[in-house]
Amino acid sequence: GCLLEGKLYPFGEISRTDNCFRCSCSQEAISCCSLFHTPVGYDKNRCEIVFNKKSCSYNVVQKKDPSKECFVYSHA
């Protein structure tokens, strides 16, 4: 198998790791890509990003009131 961040995964396709990556594991290498997009365009003075591991996504919320979402105009 392949060792990734201290966890052993079996050879083959890994649909989702504990840290929200999709990977392909072979005897030669492991290659991974993220299952999420990172918000980069939002009001950084009023808002902050919070990663939701359950949904593998970022939420952008107001610093003063995290129950309110902020508008995001671009992702990376």
pLDDT at 76 over 90: no
Q: Dihedrals φ, ψ of 73, to 5°?
A: -110, -5
Give residue 73's pLDDT.
94
CATH class of 39-75: mainly beta
pLDDT in tens, 30-52: 999 999 999 999 999 999 999 99
Domains of the chain, residue spans: 2-34, 39-75
Please tell me whether the overall predicted TM-score, pTM, comes out greater than 0.75 for this model: no
